[in-house]
């Protein structure tokens, strides 16, 4: 009788322990299922959002650090092009055009035929123009006109080429 009672107590204890473990897993699983995001996707979002907060506060040094860490850690991150874009803008505003070109080139390579990729390529031309490399800028703009003739940036590139011709005279 004592053994049977002990078995029942142990069984009840094990059953309760199993329910606690299941109960602890269920909210996380349910939250993950309801949001549709894996833990990695949530971490990706949080890391990027931290960088955005520093950018919004005007702490561009820390924002650059956080964006670069994001790009290093999240090779397939969903916010990569946006991180590159913010990096490019920060460097552009600091007149660090070569660094800005590297960020815009990364966007163009990752999002080649998209509007975002074409825009980034166009902005590399603007950076070259700002640095006084008019021949390189002209080459970028001409390439956009040839490769993406029906994009908005082909039209803008034609305008930039016309401006370069005016400046040359």
| Domain definitions of the chain by residue range | 1-36, 38-168
Q: Which of 5-9, 35-39, 74-78 has the lowest mean pLDDT?
A: 5-9
46 band by pLDDT with thresholds 50, 70 and 90: very high
The answer on pLDDT for 66 being more than 50 is yes
Measured between alpha carbons, how far is 49 from 74 in angstroms, rounded to an integer?
A: 13
Asked whether the predicted pLDDT for residue 6 surpasses 60, the reply is no
Is the pLDDT score of 34 beyond 60?
no
Q: How high does pLDDT run on average in the chain?
A: 84
Phi-psi region at 133: left, alpha or beta (left = phi > 0; alpha = psi -120 to 50): beta
Question: What class does CATH assign to 38-168?
Answer: mainly alpha
Residue 59: left (phi > 0), alpha (psi -120 to 50), or beta? beta
pTM of structure = 0.75
Assess whether pLDDT exceeds 50 at residue 4: no
Q: Which segments of the chain does DSSP mark as H helices, in order?
A: 2-35, 39-57, 60-73, 80-93, 97-110, 115-130, 134-147, 152-168
112-134 tens-digit pLDDT: 789 999 999 999 999 999 999 99
Token pair for residue 140?
Answer: 């970028």
Three-state DSSP class for 78?
A: coil
| CA 83/CA 63 separation, integer angstroms | 10
125, 43, 111: which is closest to 82 by C-alpha? 111
What distance in Å separates the CA atoms of residue 53 and residue 57, rounded to the nearest whole number? 6
């Amino acid at each position: 009788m004592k053994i049977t009672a002990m078995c029942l107590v142990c069984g009840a204890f094990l059953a309760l322990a199993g329910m606690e473990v299941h109960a602890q897993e269920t909210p996380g699983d349910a939250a993950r299922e309801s949001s549709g995001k894996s833990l990695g996707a949530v971490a990706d979002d949080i890391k990027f959002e931290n960088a955005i907060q520093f950018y919004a506060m005007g702490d561009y040094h820390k924002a650059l650090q956080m964006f670069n860490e994001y790009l290093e850690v999240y090779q397939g991150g969903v916010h990569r092009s946006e991180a590159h874009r913010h990096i490019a803008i920060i460097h552009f505003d600091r007149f660090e055009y070569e660094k800005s070109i590297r960020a815009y080139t990364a966007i163009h390579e990752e999002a080649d035929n998209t509007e975002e990729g074409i825009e980034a390529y166009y902005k590399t031309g603007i950076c070259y123009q700002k640095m006084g490399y008019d021949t390189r800028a002209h080459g970028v703009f001409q390439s956009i006109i040839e490769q993406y003739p029906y994009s908005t940036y082909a039209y803008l590139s034609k305008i930039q080429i016309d401006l370069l011709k005016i400046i040359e005279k």
